[in-house]
Structure 1
């Protein structure tokens, strides 16, 4: 389920569980980049943000791969822009929770949760509140595919999260903050708040943890290891050496499983035995071209796939709210784009996102009860 419930810590602390991250050029204000962090899967309309967490966006300029690089090799620069949002616990007489966004320039921008006007400062606009979960995927069919080792998608399928809510943070920043670069890497994190910040979760692309790292049964090296909490603690822009072998073994095995579901191999292992997608997945941040206009569909992975082909990308990349990214992911995993589109049978939310700030659709006032976990 994208990044919902992406490990034991996320299951035990859903308030810190990042469900999805999106980034795209603003369809409403050209020259601005939209950043979206969704958290708290299956949120109730009354749920509030944690006063014990730091909700963070990190952005770095990306250098394109060299002409001699046969892979995906976008290299993050050392410069970094950070946008932090924090919240206070409402007092007994408070009608709304208050938050503060610290902009790339260091300005503190106050706002109230669920206020559609949000808060604004120099080159920054921010909203936080309950919204309709925009993630589009037949999660039950995807899990059945792994369990039964054969494609289980039907047409039509059903969106497990349709009608459920999330707590959403939307920040729109002027691209003048972004070093004059076109390609930017974006990741979102939740961290403990205080003088010592511990990373709880970090998310770049969808389904890296749940569809690609979670299954254990195909991994010949670490078959008993729940790997996702370790992965969550890593710096997305500087993956540590300590567990990298474990991540690679898990990805090589699971990606080979996905590739074999159509009965043929489309991703041939490299000379060292590594799956060709492993390095791309471990560079786990969204890549967006802030100089290109907003496009509703078909931008996810377009920059990365064009780079692999040695071609110039055509779109803004990133990830938009209404883009059916799972069909793109499943197609690349199963047939590398050499065969038919692998559809999960769902194409859009019943309440799609809009082209106006704060973009995500209004929440469901009566969301279904979340399932119990045992």
Structure 2
């Protein structure tokens, strides 16, 4: 599949009401493509999560779990925009012999050859510099000294156990018991760090789907509305609920492709305006 189309333009003008529709292009096989600026759809108290993980490193096996929600639901990503590339692909193009689809996202760049002055004089093959499968495995469980190694590795490396020891140590630092460590490794490493979608799991409702039986945790993929942070930290916490108290995005998502909300626009000048940012 290939696409060529105008992207949704980001500007500094106040957003008209109602907002214009997103610019979307389609392929002959029914696939859709969107590229442009949008509200950052992730919702999480990043500071709380980082402090919890840091406390588990400083006090292995005895982390301060209250740090995850100590800011009472402050969304680090509220009020910020990001560049979005979204693709909608008919399931018939992805389905093989199984009803389960595995998705592994990678970001690649080319090796470059530099001369002594720093100028690029040659290019090599593409290499993976970042990857993402199951939410928070890369960000939360891989220790910093191994981040680059993990990003450059493959899901086959995961299945061969290359990172099992490091992930196990991270989980023990967080006071995860052996049964939950084994369950996490079974789902997220021993078959590769791949996000799995069972096409038989129903998905319906506004904002791209919000039915309780679908989405993350039910083999229904990872929907924008799914509170993956609470789900992952609860699993790490041996099934006992552990939440950051950020329960949703600060603005509603669209109910049609590309589902992400319009970008946050500049606010009118005034005294102490609220720009929605919550870092």
Smaller-chain TM-score bracket: 0.7 to 0.9
1:58 matched residue in structure 2: none
* Residue of 180, 184, 197 corresponding to 1:277: 184
For residues 51-200 of structure 1, the aligned pairs below 5 Å read: 103=1, 108-114=2-8, 116-121=22-27, 122-148=29-55, 149-151=63-65, 152=67, 153-154=69-70, 156-177=72-93, 178-179=95-96, 181-192=98-109, 196-200=125-129
Quickly say closer, same or farther: Cα 1:240–1:292, change in 2 above 3 A: closer
2:229 matched residue in structure 1: 326
2:116 matched residue in structure 1: none
Pairwise CA distance, 1:136: 1.6
2:197 is aligned with 1:288: yes
Judge conservation of contact 1:155–1:346 (CA < 8 Å) in 2. no
Higher relative strand content: 1
Runs of 4+ in 1 over 3 A off after TM superposition: 366-371
Report the TM-score, using the length of structure 1 for normalisation.
0.55
Structure 2: gaps (5+ residues): 10-21, 56-62, 111-122, 204-208, 267-274
2:252 is aligned with 1:352: yes
Pairwise CA distance, 1:369: 9.3
Deviations 1:265-299 (A, max 9, x none): 4x348xxxx74422422221111122433241552
Quickly say closer, same or farther: Cα 1:365–1:291, change in 2 above 3 A: same
Pairwise CA distance, 1:179: 2.6
Q: CA–CA distance in 1 between the matches of 2:71 and 2:151? A: 34
Q: Give the match's secondary structure for 1:332.
A: helix
Q: CA–CA distance in 2 between the matches of 1:326 and 1:297? A: 18
1:91 matched residue in structure 2: none
Q: CA–CA distance in 2 between the matches of 1:276 and 1:292? A: 21
Aligned length: 227
1:25 matched residue in structure 2: none
Judge conservation of contact 1:255–1:275 (CA < 8 Å) in 2. no
1:239 matched residue in structure 2: 157
Judge conservation of contact 2:99–2:200 (CA < 8 Å) in 1. yes
Judge conservation of contact 1:297–1:322 (CA < 8 Å) in 2. no
Q: Give the match's secondary structure for 2:3.
A: strand
1:221 matched residue in structure 2: none
Report the TM-score, using the length of structure 2 for normalisation.
0.72
Pairwise CA distance, 1:365: 2.6
2:130 is aligned with 1:201: yes
Q: CA–CA distance in 2 between the matches of 1:322 and 1:302? A: 14
Structure 1: gaps (5+ residues): 1-102, 216-225, 304-316
Q: Which protein shows a greater Rg? A: 2
Quickly say closer, same or farther: Cα 1:369–1:138, change in 2 above 3 A: closer
Pairwise CA distance, 1:200: 1.4
Which one has more relative contact order, counting CA pairs under 8 Å at least 6 apart? 2
Judge conservation of contact 1:205–1:285 (CA < 8 Å) in 2. yes
Q: Give the match's secondary structure for 2:4.
A: strand
Judge conservation of contact 1:186–1:204 (CA < 8 Å) in 2. yes
Deviations 1:86-117 (A, max 9, x none): xxxxxxxxxxxxxxxxx2xxxx2211221623
Judge conservation of contact 2:78–2:277 (CA < 8 Å) in 1. no
Judge conservation of contact 2:158–2:193 (CA < 8 Å) in 1. no
Deviations 1:149-185 (A, max 9, x none): 2111237321111111221111111111123631000
